[in-house]
Amino acid sequence: MTNSNKASSATVKDSDTSATNQSTKTVSASVGQRAISKRANDEERSLVFQLSKLLSERSGHRHLVLIQDFPDPDALSSAWTYRLICKNYNIDCDIYYGGTLSHQENIALVRLSGMPVRRWNLQTNSGPDLSQYQAYVLLDTQGTTSQLIHLVEAAELPLFLVVDHHAPQHEISASLVDLRPHIRATATILTQYLQSEQLLTLDRGNSTHVKCATALMHGLRADTNNLMHAAEADFEAAAYLSNYYDPQLLAAILRASRSKRVMDVIERSLRNRQVQNNFSIAGVGYLRYEDRDAIPQAADFLVTEENVHTAVVYGIVHDEDEEREVVIGSLRTSKITLDPDEFIKEAFGRDTEGRFFGGGRTTAGGFEIPIGFLSGFYENSDYNRLKWEVFDIQVKQKLLRLINPEDGLISTD
């Protein structure tokens, strides 16, 4: 059964500024809003009901939960919540990711909360025996950001559930699909499940519940830029979690310090940055696979400079195990009229198979460009330097083409 929940994402925009009909407009707008949220509530209720029924039928099963390769707080907290819900239905869950935990806040989140997530290293094949699972579940992803998906597909494991807030990526065939692109975080959707009190009732006296609520709070804050881009549903979820979470634990997670290697990358980005038309562009050279998260962190930092509204930081990330090299970049913007998704797609275009090298959402975007035949780190340092220079110039060229107003492709005023 394929069930895609299409709750309306319509928000009432009151763009009419004429003073005469302002009051009537406001009234009808709030009635409309209520109708929308009532319908959304009905759909949520029926989803929770269906999930509860499906879980009851699966008592004694074991589920494999997959999240994206480089898990973020939204994915991690959602997976943990699902695991707790399942426990209530006598279903065991193992949570796996295929890449690394690289942001210091994510490492702190997992360590401080004791969250049960595991890395599945494809090189050493440290993964579990797939025959012990009856089904797998995708949270905060539709499978496109997990390299583990091919393994479960090859093992013909059925897909039980998908819960995600990203735009639909492809046709999904699962027992239940809860795709809500108008919600800003998967943590919000999982919190709504908890709010229904049908699947699991949170208990303030249960330390695991408190830690999980803290993780959810962190997850939904992280995906909404500290609630700045939160919609009504996200605020409602945060309000609910405020009764259960531990503010001191959250503060400890947010205080997690940056590693020296991340500081070095930020330093390189500062040194190499080139500011033009309020864009700050910095190539940071080579970095290790485990440190790839330093790139978005450097972009987060560069965008805070006076007179800069957009920062792009990129580097060549090399994976020694796989001997794979890829140019990875991150964009951060505070410019409301700049759409990161459009900008990145326009700047880098598509690969030979027609796939874009990257994309984005509000205020943030990213890209990955494989190095292919030129991959491989050699003892010959001249070769490495030349290779970096070529990629550095090419990435800059593509970006500057859009940033320079003479070309008229993007307005920078």
Q: Which is nearer to Mn ion, 102 or 186 (CB)?
A: 186
Q: Which residues make Cβ contacts (< 8 Å) with residue 72, sequence separation at least 6?
A: 103, 106, 140, 219, 222, 223
Q: What is the DSSP letter of 311?
A: E
Token pair 């996200």: residue: 234
Q: Smallest gap, in angstroms, from Cβ of residue 39 to Mn ion?
A: 24
Site membership for Mn ion, residue 140 (CB under 5 A): yes
3-state secondary structure of 332: strand
> Using the rule CB under 5 A, which residue among 44, 66, 68, 74 binds Mn ion?
74
Using the rule CB under 5 A, give the single segment among 116-124, 146-154, 215-223, 308-316 that binds Mn ion: 215-223
3-state secondary structure of 57: coil
- Distances from the Cα of 211 to the Cαs of 112, 231, 338, 405, in angstroms? 9, 24, 37, 49
Closest residue (Cβ) to Mn ion?
A: 74
Q: Which is nearer to Mn ion, 140 or 339 (CB)?
A: 140
Q: Which is nearer to Mn ion, 122 or 254 (CB)?
A: 254
Site membership for Mn ion, residue 234 (CB under 5 A): no
Per-position x/- string for 96-135, each x denoting binding to Mn ion as judged by CB under 5 A, each - no binding: ----------------------------------------
3-state secondary structure of 325: strand
By rule CB under 5 A, what count of residues binds Mn ion?
Answer: 4
Using the rule CB under 5 A, give the single segment among 52-60, 137-145, 269-277, 367-375 that binds Mn ion: 137-145
Per-position x/- string for 49-68, each x denoting binding to Mn ion as judged by CB under 5 A, each - no binding: --------------------
- Strands (E) in 29-175, as ranges, are 62-66, 92-97, 117-119, 135-139, 159-164
Q: Which amino acid is at 314?
A: Y
Cα–Cα distance for residue pair 94/192, rounded to 1 Å: 22
- 13: tokens are 């925009």
- 393: tokens are 């110039």
Using the rule CB under 5 A, give the single segment among 147-155, 219-227, 310-318, 342-350 that binds Mn ion: 219-227
Q: Which is nearer to Mn ion, 226 or 248 (CB)?
A: 226
Neighbours of 111 (CB within 10 A): 12
Q: Smallest gap, in angstroms, from Cβ of residue 119 to Mn ion?
A: 19
Q: Which is nearer to Mn ion, 179 or 402 (CB)?
A: 179
Q: Smallest gap, in angstroms, from Cβ of residue 131 to Mn ion?
A: 30
Q: Which is nearer to Mn ion, 74 or 94 (CB)?
A: 74
Site membership for Mn ion, residue 178 (CB under 5 A): no
Q: Which residues pair with 95 in a beta bridge?
A: 65, 117
Q: Which is nearer to Mn ion, 68 or 278 (CB)?
A: 68
Site membership for Mn ion, residue 223 (CB under 5 A): yes
Name the strands in the sheet holding 358-361, side by side, starting at the edge strand that comes first in the sequence.
274-276, 279-288, 310-319, 324-333, 364-370, 358-361
- 399: tokens are 């970006």
Chain residues binding Mn ion by CB under 5 A are: 74, 140, 186, 223
